[in-house]
Amino acid sequence: MFEVKNLHVSIGETRKLRDINLNVKPGELHVIMGPNGSGKTTLAMALIGHPRYKIDTGKIILNGEDITGIPMHERTRKGLFLSFQHPVEIDSLRYLTFLLEALKKNGKSPDVEWIKRVFEKMGLSEEFLQRNVNSGFSGGEKKRAELAQMLLLSPKYAILDEPDTGVDVDSMKFIAGAINESLSRGTGIILITHYARILNEIGKGFHVHILAGGEIKAEGGPELAEKVEKQGFGE
């Protein structure tokens, strides 16, 4: 189980998140929705352990182990994954070189043929592996590549920060496909999104958490997502 307990997070001196609680079980999907600037990315970054986001109090627990204080790369090696809202472009590092290294560090076999197959499954040709990391990728391509990484690393828990923003109908199919596949493999997923559209493609039930002003304001099932889609967050 992945547990977030009474988490308070600051950026610099400013408190951005207050008293966040989440319990995600293997194979469960938890959807986080909320207005722009409500703190969704802040939560994602704090969970993965980005040093810019300071945890003031609270705990993050992965399968019983307190990982609140440990560095980012160790969290990843323990099976946590973050798909970035804005994946960075690294102009001087080939995607394939990067992936092989990442797989090795996470104890997975650096198998090029397998990487190619997974990329193909995400609608990305081999050519992307020869390019530099995210460099010149379109918005949709970046997101698909992030989810290809999720499939390759098969984490225990994955946080996906708006994988469906700015993607076309076809990309959406690839992305929903990757989410469904991971869920069925038992990965617990926290999906940050603005749209119910992607949720229609998910083949199972899910939990919804509404984040506003740095706090979780409401929780419920798929009907809550529908309501947000129709009426917005005004309440």
Partner 1 sequence: MKGIARKLGESRGEPEWLIELREEAESYISKAPFPLEIKPLELETYDPMGKGDVELPEIKSLDDIPDNIREMLIKMGVPEYEWQKILGLIQVDTSSQVTSFKEYFEKQGVVVMSLLDALKTYDWLQDYAFRLMPYKTNKFAAYHTAYWNGGIFMWIKEGAKIAYPLHTYFLITEGALAQADHALIIADKGAEATFVEGCTAPPLVRFSAHIGATEVYVKKNAKVKGIVLQNWPEYVNTRPYTNVQVEEGGEIEVAVAILGTGKSAGRYEEIHLKGKGAKATVHSISFVKREEYLDDVIKIYLEAEETSGLIQTKGVIRDKGISNSYTHIESDQGACFSKGHIECSGILLNSGGAHTTYPGVKSISPSSELTHEAYVGKISEDSLSYLMARGLSEEEAMALLVKGYIEPVTKHIPFEYLKEINRIAELVAKGGF
Ligand X SMILES: Nc1ncnc2c1ncn2[C@@H]1O[C@H](COP(=O)(O)OP(=O)(O)OP(=O)(O)O)[C@@H](O)[C@H]1O
* Binding stretches for ligand X (CB under 6 A): 11, 16, 34, 36-42, 52, 85
What's the rounded Cα separation, in Å, for the pair 101 and 85? Answer: 22
Dump the DSSP string for 102-145.
Answer: HHHHTT----HHHHHHHHHHTT--THHHHSBTTTT--HHHHHHH
Reference 43, options 67, 61, 12, 18; nearest CA is: 18
CB of 76 or CB of 171, closer to partner 1: 76
Which residues within the stretch 83-122 sit at the binding site for Mg ion (CB under 5 A)?
A: 85
Question: What H or E segment, with its residue span, contains residue 71?
Answer: none
In the list partner 1, Mg ion, ligand X, none, the entry touching 39 (Cβ below 5 to 8 angstroms by class) is ligand X
Q: Which stretch binds Mg ion (CB under 5 A): 38-46, 107-115, 127-135, 200-208?
A: 38-46
* Nearer to ligand X (CB atom), residue 79 or residue 87: 87
What's the CA gap between 173 and 51, in Å, rounded? 34
Shortest spacing between CB 99 and partner 1, in angstroms: 9
Q: Whole-number minimum distance, CB 40 to Mg ion, in Å?
A: 5
Judge contact between 211 and 177, C-beta under 8 A.
no
The nearest distance, CB 10 to ligand X, in angstroms, is: 10
Q: Rule CB under 5 A: which residues touch Mg ion?
A: 40-41, 85
